[in-house]
Structure 1
């Protein structure tokens, strides 16, 4: 359990099926005294494969909500279409340096062909996807409260376009078979899996028989999916669209669900939906793992104009994988953030800037807030 506090898991979660696993015992036989003589030097031969440790490392970054209001896509309009690339130019170096970068595509990119729209039912241009790809994003999460805003046609257009530009995606699918296939990405011999779920869809029901269109938060289903993901990957990245909008601290449901997910195999938990930053923490699990959770990454690019809703952050994590003959150990380490701010000006229009460039005092307040539960949190600016 987390050393900061103990959690009581709600009965619906406690009643979920227990995960079971199997271990394969590996043995080897070797002569411990055997030595090899080569050109006058004695070179000891390892007595067991477990004596040879193999280590790999990778970096992961993540950003929060991409919610394209009308004033944002109008600002991106050009004679040829839409160009969102200038909006990400300043922060692109902080995103593309990671081996994998994840973003929450909250407003679905159903394309101009079905009509663009803003709050409360969003539909964004395909070019949003192009800009994210150009800025270094490798994975997008699609399960959120706006997934069903414009119905099945928008989802079909969006998923097909993500596939077309080679973007890995999770949370919304076009078939049950697609949903059953875990989204995977391998970097530096470390395989990551990506899962995405939402608390709801603003009262819009999923069409009958098509639950695969959007993943909803259900502890039993999440538990099953985590088990499948662990079987296929080294690191499980779980994205949860949850919490209360504009609240700067996580509520009990977020904390309990994060604890449940950690105990059932999640390694990294990325939170979205509040549209403001909520602090990260470490969760210590019963099996000895340290799981990293950030309860909300805030808005990354949106048209919301309250200062707290203009602030976001780029998360940076280091992941190490150490393999021996007996086990594979994954370590999540060195969490760091780059605070960001969505600016709007007559000169540049909407664009994501570093918060330190906008308001140094607010940048300090933001860093203190993010450090609430991790006192040695680092910042890259």
Structure 2
């Protein structure tokens, strides 16, 4: 009714203008007032843009020499090993890590390859350096059986660390791992593994570890999209020590992109594999890193000592949520005589310059927009 009244008033003013040969000042002001009213009646909608930042690190795989190096009179202290990279991990909104050696606690006996078991202190260290979520679905999840999984999940709950991919019971497995941020963006984390090194999943207890199954992944992603703005999927897949993804990895990553996931984080090869953007069947863009490599593990080969803190933004414009600005801090695990372990920013190590430049080129070959962090963030 107000818009209709405007046109009646405006028509009258135009007729007066044509008949009189001029527009009185009062009439000009009236037209401007009516025009101003129309602007107020039809405001433009401006999308509500929000963003958060995410960091992902690869395998936290603790071998015997790492335990020995971290041992104290009262337990274990892994904190010094991560201090050089802590500033890069705790500055982003969310940080996720692949805790590959199950945190079954000392009561089960701390152990190394081939059946790993880590003490509770590694959880405390990850919490201290800024990790918010751990992925637990990997080939070592069942190294200490159901008891190990139950202890790990209970300990994560005790220290306030979110986890995904392995659960103590069915009820727990049916709850989505969703992180709600102060910026108003919620992120769901999902995690799956190709297998458990031949250790059978106990009958009727599939909840102990999420195995890769396309129908389950499809259901879980669709379910997560109904409750969270973004969905990050961790996949434990690929061939160990291969620098590039195989066709099976590419196929599964594309399948996940087709379901509308925001990002895919790969683990298992123990070496870095490239970053790539995939286009989903609905036109969405999904950010993929095929392998995050080792973050800390006692493996001597150079490629197995190079890891990454992979970072990207999640931007929400209205109802559209996308990953943007992929960037990476390449890391190097320094040690000598199987002791003095330190995860360090690789760009700070002059002796690694050649390997550093080669790895940068390799990681960006499928994603030219990938940038590399080469500055101190501690201040």
TM-score (norm 1): 0.87
Alignment partner of 1:329 is 2:320: yes
Match of 1:307 in 2: 302
Alignment-derived partner of residue 13 in structure 1: none
CA shift, 1:357, in A, is 2.9
Show the 5 A alignment for 1:272-291. 272-291=267-286
* SS of residue matched to 1:221: helix
**SS of the residue aligned with 2:242?**
coil
Aligned to 2:27: none
2:14 paired residue number:
none
SS in 2 for 1:51: coil
Per-residue deviation at 1:322? 1.0
**Larger helix share, 1 or 2:** 2
Find the residue that maps to 1:236 and give its secondary structure: strand
Aligned-residue offset at 1:108: 0.6
Residue 364 in structure 1 maps to residue 354 in structure 2: no
Give 1:348 shift: 7.3
> Any idea what the Cα deviations from partners look like across 1:15-44, whole Å, max 9, x if unmatched?
xxxxxxxxxxxxxx995998xx9xx99584
**212, 215, 238: which one aligns with 1:217:** 212
1:31–1:157 Cα change, 3 Å: farther
State the alpha-carbon separation in 2 of the partners of residues 321 and 32 from structure 1.
37
In the other structure, the counterpart of 1:93 is 87
Q: Which residue of 2 aligns with 1:352?
A: 343
User: How far is the alpha carbon of 1:225 from its aligned partner?
Assistant: 0.5
Deviation at 1:55, TM superposition (A): 1.0
What does residue 319 of structure 1 align with?
314
Larger Rg: 2
Flag as ranges the 4+ runs of structure 1 deviating above 6 A. none
Contact 1:30 / 1:47 at 8 angstroms: preserved in 2?
no
How far apart, in 2, do the equivalents of 1:112 and 1:46 lie?
Answer: 68
Counterpart Cα distance in 2 of 1:30 and 1:283: 49
Which runs of no fewer than 5 residues in structure 2 stay unpaired?
7-29, 375-379
Q: Output the CA distance in 1 between the equivalents of 2:243 and 2:339.
A: 29
2: CA distance, partners of 1:85 / 1:149: 25
Q: How many residues align?
A: 344
Match of residue 14 from structure 1? none
- Paired position in structure 1 for 2:263: 268
Name 2:155's counterpart in structure 1.
Answer: 161
**How big is the shift at 1:376?**
2.6
**Structure 1 counterpart of 2:238:** 243
Task: State the distance in 2 between where 1:355 and 1:279 align.
Answer: 17
Which position in structure 2 is the counterpart of 1:293?
A: 288
Distance 2:155 2:342 in 1: 24
In the TM superposition, what are the counterparts of 1:76-115 in structure 2 within 5 Å?
Answer: 76-115=70-109
Relative to structure 1, is the Cα distance of residues 45 and 295 closer, same or farther in structure 2, using a 3 angstrom cutoff? same
What residue is the counterpart of 2:190 in the other structure?
195
For the pair 1:339 / 2:330, whether they are aligned, the reply is: yes
Whole-angstrom distance in 2 between the partners of 1:329 and 1:243: 31
- Alpha-carbon distance in structure 2 between the residues aligned to 1:32 and 1:353: 69
After TM superposition, the score normalised by the length of structure 2 is 0.87
Question: 8 Å contact 2:65–2:338 — kept in the other structure?
Answer: no
Q: Deviations over 1:64-90 (max 9, x none)?
A: 000000100110001121100000000
Q: Deviations over 1:110-166 (max 9, x none)?
A: 111111000000000100000000000000000000000011111111110001111
The alignment partner of 1:280 has SS state of strand
Q: Cα offset for 1:177?
A: 1.2
Quote the Cα distance in structure 2 between the aligned partners of 1:32 and 1:361.
Answer: 73
Pairwise CA distance, 1:347: 11
Give the distance between the partners of 1:332 and 1:301, measured in 2 at CA: 26
State the distance in 1 between where 2:247 and 2:42 align.
51
Determine the C-alpha separation between the residues in 1 that align with 2:86 and 2:339: 16
Tell me which of 107, 121, 129 is aligned to 1:127.
121
> Within 2, Cα distance between the matches of 1:347 and 1:274?
22
Q: Contact 2:298/2:338 (CA < 8 Å) preserved in 1?
A: no
Distance 2:265 2:230 in 1: 13
Does the aligned pair in 1 maintain the 2:260–2:286 contact within 8 Å?
no
